[in-house]
Amino acid sequence: MALIELIDLNKIYNTTAVPVHAVKDVNLSIEKKEFTAIVGPSGSGKTTLLNIVGGLDKPTNGKVIIDGVDLSTLSESKLVEYRLHHIGFVFQAYNLIPVLTARENVEFIMLLQNVPKAERRQRAVEVLNAVGLSDKLDIRPAQLSGGQQQRVAVARALASRPNFVLADEPTANLDSTSAEALLDLMEELNEKFDMTFIFSTHDAKVMKRARRIVTLVDGKVDKDERTR
């Protein structure tokens, strides 16, 4: 069974005078341990597709099935709970909480998961060590570089022990050195721990690392290529 199945997926926004068909008849299967990039020009539907896969947005029609669970069958509260326990998110804007330290930011999602305090702390320290921030545990986001903040965001996503990680333009705000370091880390996590990553990206550096590239044009899958 595939980790993620997208079946006849469509998303139409009716918030403007002319309806916007952001995702059109998308059918995709994502297997465990994939390192997949969703690419395409601005407005092609990349972020919308990622948001639907992550349960942050609902399709107009079609199905998202994750590990055999059809997200459309879940109530709003069950969907929130499912996201919390099964899906890791890395956003372009980092979305760190300014008043919390790096460790506290990583612990926060585990607090929501009701993970005991001692285990929260241990896991937070472990993942921050893994992303190379063992000396930044008690530092707040404003005192960290963009690359370091993005690493905290990755650590937070991993600490929840998700089935997979969705990363929306994760390198967009990073210089090339920080971007390459982040991709090195994600590749290592993918290979060592079988962590599945799905990116939306414009970045050639991400595309070069991806083992599968799905190209969207006007909301449709135009190409689906395995690169290695």
**101-117, pLDDT tens digit by residue?**
999 999 998 999 999 99
Task: Give the amino acid at 80.
Answer: V
Higher pLDDT, 147 or 220: 220
Instruction: Kindly list the domain boundaries of the chain, sorted by start residue.
Output: 4-226
Task: Give the rounded percent of residues in the chain with a pLDDT score beyond 90.
Answer: 65
| 119 φ, ψ (degrees, to nearest 5) | -70, -40
Q: Examine the pLDDT at 1 and tell me if it is beyond 80.
A: no
d(CA 94, CA 173): 10
Which CATH architecture does the domain made up of 4-226 adopt?
Answer: 3-Layer(aba) Sandwich (3.40)
pLDDT, one tens digit per residue, over 181-203 is 888 888 988 888 888 999 999 88
Phi, psi of 20 (to 5 degrees): -105, 120
Q: Return d(Cα 59, Cα 48) in angstroms, integer.
A: 9
For position 228, what pLDDT does the model report? 77
92 pLDDT more than 80: no
**Residue range 77-95: mean pLDDT, rounded:** 88
Which structure tokens are listed for 198? 């799905």
Q: How far apart are CA 3 and CA 32, in angstroms?
A: 5
Report pTM: 0.89
Lowest mean pLDDT among 7-11, 110-114, 213-217: 110-114
Type of residue found at 145: S
